[in-house]
Amino acid sequence: MAASGVGSNLRNLVERGFNIVAVATNRPSCGAATFSRGRRIPLGELPQKTFGSAELRDIAMRDFFMRHRVELVVDAGYDRVHTKPFLDAFEGRIINIHPSLLPEFGGGMDAVEQAIESGAKATGATVHVVTDAVDAGPILVQEAVPILEGDTVETLRQRIHEAEYRILPVAIGLMEAKLANSSTVG
């Protein structure tokens, strides 16, 4: 998993019994990093300032995940865009969770704020396959979340998180089935 934030999706997957073999972060003080240390999940600490470019950071992340035999990369609150060396190494095996019904409110880390400001009646959560088109790869699962009268960024974020805890495990299951099929063909 690649993460930069609170780490609640990571916690949810661990509590549901998913085998998280390694976590990489660009923010060693984030909640996901603290959680990984506490659970003794191998943690790759890759702050951008220690690398000369995004590609060099991604080569280090690629090598870290390969060492740990990662089969599927899950971006959960990861706030960097993967570059070519990483995308090439894990092509078709990276998924991302995003707190909106993509393609609405894509492209940043402020989808919940954007949804509130837009005056829309609903938003949601999406899990999609990561390609070089940011937040635009093939969609695996989506769940709509209504925006209620009086919602704040915090209350809406909490309900979107609850949707995320439901759809990310479903999306991982879909990917596991897909990858198992592809490895048994020819």
Window 152-181: residues binding ligand GAR (CB under 6 A): 161, 164
Q: Is the Cβ–Cβ distance between 89 and 123 less than 8 Å?
A: no
Which residue's beta carbon is nearest to the bound ligand GAR? 77
Give the residue among 106, 68, 78, 72 at the shortest CA–CA distance from 174: 72
Among 1, 2, 23, 32, binds ligand GAR (CB under 6 A): 32
Nearer to ligand GAR, 158 or 182 (CB): 158
111 contributes a contact to ligand GAR by CB under 6 A: yes
Window 62-81: residues binding ligand GAR (CB under 6 A): 76-77
147 contributes a contact to ligand GAR by CB under 6 A: no
Instruction: State the catalytic residues.
Output: 98
109 contributes a contact to ligand GAR by CB under 6 A: yes
Q: Is the Cβ–Cβ distance between 178 and 22 less than 8 Å?
A: no
Residue 131: other Cβ atoms inside 10 A: 16
Nearest distance from residue 182's CB to ligand GAR, in Å? 26
Among 99, 130, 147, 167, binds ligand GAR (CB under 6 A): 99
Q: Is the Cβ–Cβ distance between 111 and 91 less than 8 Å?
A: no
Distance separating alpha carbons of residues 45 and 23, to the nearest angstrom: 9
Cis peptide before 103 (omega within 30 of 0): yes
Distance separating alpha carbons of residues 148 and 130, to the nearest angstrom: 30
Among 1, 5, 86, 147, binds ligand GAR (CB under 6 A): 5
Q: Which positions lie near ligand GAR, rule CB under 6 A?
A: 3, 5-9, 32, 76-77, 97-99, 109, 111, 161, 164
